[in-house]
Chain A
Amino acid sequence: MNRREIGMIPAAWILCAWAAGAAPEPAPGQALALKVDRVLTGTGEDLSGGWVVVRDGRIESLDAKTAPGDALVLEFPGATMCPGFIDPVTSLGANGDLEEPARAFTPDAQAADAFHPFHEAYEKAARGGLTTVGLSPGSRNLVGGTMAVVHTFGDADRAVLGGAGPLRLCMTSAAQLDDREPTSRMGAMYHMRQFVEAGVPGQGALLVDVQSTDEVRLTLDLLKAVGRPLVFLRPADAMECVDLLQGSHATVVLGPFTTSSSRRALRTAAHLESRGIPVAFTGQGSAVQLRLTAALAVREGMTPAGALMAITAAPADILGLHGQTGRVAAGQRADLLVVSGDPLDLSAKVEAVLVGGVLVDLEDD
């Protein structure tokens, strides 16, 4: 048989096995070659499909004309590939272990200690195309602790960056409790200033819960000089303080949006995008929520490329994963999603999910 026929036979076998529900696995060192009609890189580029070659957990190339001879081949006619989704702030599978409000400041607490790798929530997330999440301490502390960055699929030790992600802070009244100091914003600000003066630990971004415009202003007064990337979590008044946000060079996390969200809330994403403010979405750990959030944002004016970036490249950057994942690019981790149509179209079906180059079993039993 000629080389092409040899290549075809394993492919036919793979597709049959695929139909039977088993996830094929390449041997160590063996490439996995995926053929799709369209590749959305996550940073705005829309490449017409070819072969995407994955080897040893990484994207080897995007522009191969044919599959490498030894590759395991998967073809998805008519499908689109995009980066696996990333949700920057979740409490996925934590069973309440991320809320520790006994003291207002717990900067050394680590969300990684609340990571339950075998929780079914991770499998579900992975099947939906959510490949990486930020696991965050809750908002009932002024400084809740260090976030963990975890992939939704893989071994038990799959927390990235040694468990040390961004620092989570909260400037809203959620961190001001009735029976624990501080009970008020003035008390919170006083203690936050002491904390900042003593030196903010770690190196990652600072993720801050804010709600109103004055909370945004106070956060900037407090943290701008620290010189770490700043991320605002769900500012309800974002539309009112766009100038402040623009000047701050911070990223804004919005969502999740649902069908009950107001049009004004939905338009916030488009408005921030038009002012050049980086936007990321959170779906509270649900892949479908992320897709819906992005779709609703597009409905109210955000660009489709921007909305896709908000659930892939932008959250990757927040979690300190720039260059590692969040984009379909040679050299990056093979965290990929193949969808039968546009990824923001909820009627499109998830055809394949790769996390670190490993195919996720899409059957839920």
Chain B
Amino acid sequence: MTFALSFLMAAALAPAAPSGAPGTSDPATFAARLRTESIVLTAKEVHVGDGTVHRPGTVVILDGKVVAVGPNPGLPLSSRVIDCDEFFVTPGLVDAACQLGTHARTGFSEQSSEVIAHLSVRDSVDLASEDLEQLAREGVTTVYVTPEAASVIGSQGAAVKTGGKGVSRFLDAPPSIKANLAEESWSRGGRNQTPRGFGNITFLTRRPTTRMGSNWVFRKAFYDALRLRETGQGGDSPEAALKVLTQVLEGQVGLRIQARRAHDIHAAQRHAEEFGYTHMIEYGIEAHLCLDLLAAHQTPVIYGPIFVRPTGATAAERGAESVLTTPARLAERGIPFCLTACDGSGEDGLARQAGLAMRFGLSPEQSLASVTSAAADLLGIGDQVGRLQSGKQADLVVWSGSPLVDTSRPLLVLVDGHAVLDRNGWMDNADKTSSD
């Protein structure tokens, strides 16, 4: 008991003490609140998300934040205790390029221009979406909702909690826009034909119909941004969008380029050299053909989704086993990466993506990191989510077995310390076992 108290006192007084935990200036009050209000979760394994694993482990949560994580020394008096001694805990999973959670699956992008960097997916997010609920139940607690590929230079994305009762479910993430140099930007509107009934000329017939065209639109937008910065005169694109592109050039706004094919990855790099921006690759399915390029420039890759039996329009590029071993090879070459399930179609989502990566050669620790800490770091929210550490938000998953394995499923999912899934009623029972 003394050891437990000292463990918690140490947590209270540690320099990395949570900025959000009230009462840290008064260790006595803090300890008192820990006794009465905290949640203590003990498990067979607690994975921090960066490779560290406590076997067994304990997580202490207060006010929606993690207060302490460590080996299991004993329990403070009278906290709400959740006994998961048979089970496995990981941070809530983070999907860095999710295409779910908006009020419409497709067609939520603004069509009046190919360059819409001034707009934001945040306005299209549907917090009540069933997709977000489903993601939460699968253990994915944070997603970055990325814009549709329908625009050449798309809007800003939004980092969102998939559930919970946070004051705002939107996270404060560094802003980032998305660009697409390939087919999707010209296949809206029936291959650039005016939709029926509208006559011959609308703003829809201005679209590019080829890769060369999309790349031209992309480069022109950046040229126009430079011209705006230097002369005050813009170009075809909305001026507000060009201003955002200026911020991309200055490194204040991130840029992710959806590039599944190898030649798109190369094109992205060429443009990066032309304009001097830094970028990330989204989806990057043919990254295995560009490993040298990516390694040389340390271009982060948000990789996936991968399927053992791919179907659909992009099946051909996803068929080879080389695609399945790519996460292992990215890790081997030291290329920063994380995994994504995109819109989850076809298979079971992000946990399975990490499981597949593991099956095809990525180490278990790195597989988990690729859907937790690495994803959070790439999104610039690694100080808030993605690891079970003192001061981070209390987003975690209790798995019925070894995490990321097909035979395991989430039993408890917490977002900001609130249960969004609780198959065994642990949170209710924890309240009952607490005494004064």
Enumerate chain A interface residues (CB-CB to B < 8 A). Answer: 178-190, 212-214, 217-218, 237, 240
Contact = CB atoms under 8 A, between A and B. Distances in A.
B116 A187 contact: yes
A187 B124 CA distance: 10
Contact of A187 (B119, B125, B203): B119
Given A186-B108, A213-B128, 11 more contacts: A178-B195, A181-B203, A185-B124, A186-B116, A187-B112, A187-B116, A187-B119, A188-B123, A214-B103, A218-B123, A240-B128
Size bracket of the B interface: 20 to 34
A122 B25 CA distance: 71
B17 interface: no
A132 to B, nearest CB: 36
A-B pairs, 7 with minimum CB distance: A187-B110, A181-B112, A189-B123, A183-B111, A186-B119, A184-B110, A186-B123
Nearest to A215: B103
A320 B124 CA distance: 33
Contact of B119 (A178, A190, A213, A217): A190
A184 B109 contact: yes
A214 B112 contact: no
Given A186-B155, A190-B118, A212 B126 contact: yes
A86 to B, nearest CB: 33
Nearest to A184: B110
Interface of B: 103, 107-112, 116, 118-121, 123-128, 155, 195, 198, 202-204, 240
A218 B123 CA distance: 7
Nearest to A182: B110
B334 to A, nearest CB: 37
Contacts of B198: 178-179
A186 B128 contact: no
Nearest to A187: B110
B108 A185 contact: yes
B193 to A, nearest CB: 13
Contacts, number: 67
Contacts of B118: 190
Nearest to A214: B126
Contacts of B204: 179
Nearest to A193: B123
A213 B128 CA distance: 8
A12 B21 CA distance: 83
A184 B125 contact: no
B124 A212 contact: no
A183 B112 CA distance: 7
A212 B124 CA distance: 12
Contacts of A187: 110, 112, 116, 119
24 contacts: A179-B198, A179-B202, A179-B203, A179-B204, A181-B110, A182-B110, A182-B112, A184-B107, A184-B108, A185-B103, A185-B108, A186-B121, A187-B110, A188-B123, A190-B110, A190-B240, A213-B126, A214-B103, A214-B125, A214-B127, A214-B128, A217-B127, A218-B123, A240-B128
Contact of B123 (A183, A190, A213): A190
A212 B103 contact: yes
B18 to A, nearest CB: 29
A182 B112 CA distance: 7
B123 A185 contact: yes
Contacts of B127: 213-214, 217
A216 B40 CA distance: 37
Contacts of A188: 123
A186 B195 contact: no
Contacts of A181: 110, 112, 203
Contacts of B112: 180-183, 187
B160 to A, nearest CB: 12
B203 to A, nearest CB: 8
Given A179-B198, A212-B103, A214-B103, A184 B124 contact: yes
A141 to B, nearest CB: 15
A312 to B, nearest CB: 34
Contacts of A217: 127
A40 B155 CA distance: 55
A217 B124 CA distance: 12
A320 B111 CA distance: 38
Given A190-B118, A190-B123, A218-B123, A184 B128 contact: no
B340 to A, nearest CB: 21
A308 B160 CA distance: 43
A208 to B, nearest CB: 15
B184 to A, nearest CB: 15
A202 B97 CA distance: 43
Kindly name the residue among A182, A187, A237 whose own CB sees the greatest number of chain B CB atoms within 10 A: A187
Contacts of B120: 186, 189-190
